[in-house]
């Protein structure tokens, strides 16, 4: 080949490389909601409460990837989706982790339903969400034609979730979701992006997995009966551990009942629930205080004490 021919070939290669490098990186996602599926905040509209107080424990990572980061990432993603629904109050992670540590109840999602129920009761939660990442993997495949290289990174995972009713210790809901996220990277003559591992791959795969069960999870959490507790008594004023943030309103009537005795399954030792306690009377909300508390006056009844349960009339 003549010198002029070599120059032409080399020029064509460089031009091709410049064009491809200009749009060198492409992305493709799988396992995420399609256009027909509404975002979480669009599926629950005009929710007025009362909002359920929910605890989310950092998920246990059973895979060999990411050590503790994946479990925390999964619980963070789930917390974000639940918050966007507008139907729940989430207990701060720091408070939950401190309590779990002090009570030696486990901090990585590897807790049984009875332990989860105890933790939730201490935190004032109606339900506690636990889970695990049972599978997680990243692989890189690609082609290499000398001046042209294309790599495809793929992260896939399986997330398992459980909802425990803290009043009974019973598992209300269990499900799993599988998510995938793919990213393509192209290089021509060394130009373009390098296919090093990017943690956003794992984050997006986890998010895709969570979206598979989030609708059913929200429905199950909403089925948990709302209740609050008497936090203080001063004369005819009664202070409740739930208020405006929860969705209570001035004028709401609350039924006060004494907590019944815990009933345990004689075979498993797990708490089945509480025996119905006697009704002590009625309260009416007249105002709010603090971060999320309410002030009520006694409408009927007597003998109220701190720790008694309050519920809305059926």
pLDDT (0 to 100) of residue 171 = 84
**Residue 159 is assigned to a structural domain of this protein:** yes
Rounded Cα distance, 39 and 33, in Å: 8
Identify the band that residue 23 occupies on the pLDDT scale cut at 50, 70 and 90: very low
Q: Could you list the residue range(s) of the whole structural domain that residue 261 is in? A: 228-311
**Residue 7 is assigned to a structural domain of this protein:** no
Rounded Cα distance, 205 and 66, in Å: 13
Q: Are residues 60 and 171 in the same domain?
A: yes
Q: Are residues 199 and 248 in the same domain?
A: no
Residue 159, helix vs strand vs coil? strand
Q: Are residues 208 and 239 in the same domain?
A: no
- What CATH number has the domain bearing residue 257? 2.40.10.410
Rounded Cα distance, 271 and 276, in Å: 14
Compute φ and ψ for 262, nearest 5 degrees. -70, 135
Q: Estimate the crossing angle of helix 69-85 against helix 199-222, to 10 degrees.
A: 50
Q: Are residues 158 and 246 in the same domain?
A: no
Beta strands (DSSP E) in 88-147 are 88-90, 127-144
Domains: count for the chain: 2
Q: What is the largest CA-CA distance in the chain?
A: 106
Compute φ and ψ for 213, nearest 5 degrees. -120, 5
**The last residue of a domain, from among 222, 250, 282:** 222
Intra-chain end-to-end CA distance of the chain, in Å? 91
Average pLDDT over residues 11-35: 39
- What CATH number has the domain bearing residue 200? 3.40.50.10610
**Residue 10 is assigned to a structural domain of this protein:** no
Q: Report the alpha-carbon angle 204-205-206, nearest 5.
A: 90
Q: Are residues 234 and 297 in the same domain?
A: yes
Q: Are residues 244 and 296 in the same domain?
A: yes
Q: Are residues 112 and 134 in the same domain?
A: yes
pLDDT (0 to 100) of residue 29 = 39
**The last residue of a domain, from among 175, 203, 222:** 222
Check whether 205 has a pLDDT greater than 80.
Answer: yes
**Residue 233 is assigned to a structural domain of this protein:** yes
Q: Are residues 278 and 185 in the same domain?
A: no
**Residue 152 is assigned to a structural domain of this protein:** yes
Residue 157, helix vs strand vs coil? strand
Check whether 237 has a pLDDT greater than 50.
Answer: yes
b/e map of 45-84 (b: 16 or more CB within 10 Å)? eeeebbbbbbbbbbbbbbbeebeeebbbbbbbbbbebbeb
**Residue 8 is assigned to a structural domain of this protein:** no
Residue 150, helix vs strand vs coil? strand
**Residue 2 is assigned to a structural domain of this protein:** no
**The last residue of a domain, from among 222, 239, 264:** 222
pLDDT tens-digit map of 112-163? 666 767 777 777 788 889 889 988 888 877 665 555 567 788 888 999 999 9
Prediction pTM value: 0.70
pLDDT (0 to 100) of residue 310 = 93
Q: What is the DSSP string of 160-173?
A: EEEEEETTT--EEE
Q: Are residues 201 and 237 in the same domain?
A: no
Place of tokens 């005009």: 46
Q: Are residues 206 and 251 in the same domain?
A: no
Establish whether the linkage from the previous residue to 46 is cis, with ω within 30° of 0: no
Q: Are residues 214 and 262 in the same domain?
A: no
CB count, 10 Å around CB of 141? 10
Name the β-bridge partners of 159: 133, 177
**Residue 16 is assigned to a structural domain of this protein:** no
Q: Are residues 216 and 284 in the same domain?
A: no
């Amino acid at each position: 080949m003549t010198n002029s021919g070599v120059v032409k070939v080399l020029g064509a290669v460089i031009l091709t490389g410049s064009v491809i490098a200009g749009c060198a990186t492409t992305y493709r996602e799988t396992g995420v909601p399609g256009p027909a599926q509404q975002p979480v905040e669009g599926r629950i509209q005009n929710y007025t409460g009362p909002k359920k107080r929910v605890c989310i424990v950092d998920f246990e990572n059973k895979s060999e990837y990411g050590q503790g980061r994946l479990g925390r990432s999964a619980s963070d993603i789930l917390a974000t989706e639940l918050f966007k629904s507008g139907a729940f109050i989430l207990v701060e992670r720091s408070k939950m982790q401190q309590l779990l540590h002090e009570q030696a109840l486990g901090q990585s999602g590897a807790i049984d339903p009875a332990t989860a129920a105890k933790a939730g009761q201490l935190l004032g939660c109606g339900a506690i969400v636990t889970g695990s990442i049972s599978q997680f993997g990243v692989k890189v495949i690609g082609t290499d034609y000398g001046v042209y290289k294309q790599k495809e990174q793929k992260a896939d995972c399986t997330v398992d979730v459980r909802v425990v009713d803290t009043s009974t210790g019973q598992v209300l809901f269990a499900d799993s979701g599988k998510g995938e996220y793919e990213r393509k990277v192209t290089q021509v003559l060394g130009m373009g992006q390098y296919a090093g591992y990017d943690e956003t791959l794992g984050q997006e795969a986890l998010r895709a997995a969570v979206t598979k069960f989030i609708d059913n999870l929200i429905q199950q959490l909403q089925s948990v009966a709302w209740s609050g507790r008497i936090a203080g008594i001063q004369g005819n004023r009664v202070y409740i551990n739930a208020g405006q943030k929860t969705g209570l309103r001035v004028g709401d009537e609350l039924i006060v009942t004494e907590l019944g005795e815990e009933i345990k399954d004689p075979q498993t030792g797990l708490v089945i629930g509480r025996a119905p306690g006697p009704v002590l009377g009625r309260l009416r909300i007249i105002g709010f205080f603090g971060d999320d508390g309410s002030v009520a006056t006694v409408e009927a009844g007597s003998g109220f004490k701190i720790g008694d349960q309050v519920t809305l009339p059926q």
